[in-house]
Amino acid sequence: MESYKKVRLDREVLPDYIIRVNRRTKPSIYVDKITEQLLTVKVDAVTISSMGDAISKAVTVAEIVNHRIKGVHQTNEISTLSIDDEYEPLEDGLEKVTVNRKLTCLKIILSLTVPAKKTSGY
């Protein structure tokens, strides 16, 4: 794969109440954003989204928020996402390569109100 370069796709811009957790950013930054959304902006729910290695950090962030804000209701959803990574050749004569990989995804929904429908992840 030394002869290839990964094609970076632009990510969509998400609303403030959806937080994408990555493994490089400190949990305190996410906790501050979520706390601001729930208490200051007064949104109905905040969604924490993470994939792969960042799942453990997302769980940590949700637990910290649960301890800091009393009365938070949490719903978890686990899914699998299939991602196609494209690689462009750096040398002439090579073709574009697509690699499919599967990632585990976790979505944690934090709300100050009881969810209308209680699911298995409540």
Q: Give domain status of residue 63, yes or no.
A: yes
Q: Give domain status of residue 116, yes or no.
A: no
Q: Give domain status of residue 48, yes or no.
A: yes
Distance from the Cα of residue 72 to its chain's centroid = 19
Q: Give domain status of residue 122, yes or no.
A: no
Q: Give domain status of residue 61, yes or no.
A: yes
Q: Give domain status of residue 121, yes or no.
A: no
Supply the pTM of this predicted model: 0.84
Higher-confidence position of 99 and 118: 99
Per-residue pLDDT, 86? 93
Per-residue pLDDT, 117? 76
Q: Give domain status of residue 117, yes or no.
A: no
pLDDT (tens digit per residue) in 58-76: 999 999 999 999 999 999 9
Per-residue pLDDT, 6? 92
CATH number at residue 25: 3.30.110.20
Q: Give domain status of residue 119, yes or no.
A: no
Q: Which domain holds residue 26?
A: 4-111
Biggest alpha carbon distance in the chain? 61
pLDDT (tens digit per residue) in 34-61: 999 999 999 999 999 999 999 999 999 9
The number of folded domains in the chain is: 1
Instruction: Report d(CA 42, CA 4) in Å as an integer.
Output: 47
Instruction: Report d(CA 67, CA 70) in Å as an integer.
Output: 7
14 — pLDDT class (breaks 50, 70, 90): confident
Instruction: Report d(CA 116, CA 111) in Å as an integer.
Output: 11
**Torsional class of 113: left (φ above 0), alpha (ψ -120 to 50), beta (otherwise):** beta
Starting at the earlier edge strand, list the strands of the sheet with 4-6.
Answer: 4-6, 73-89, 97-111, 45-51, 18-20
Neighbours of 106 (CB within 10 A): 21
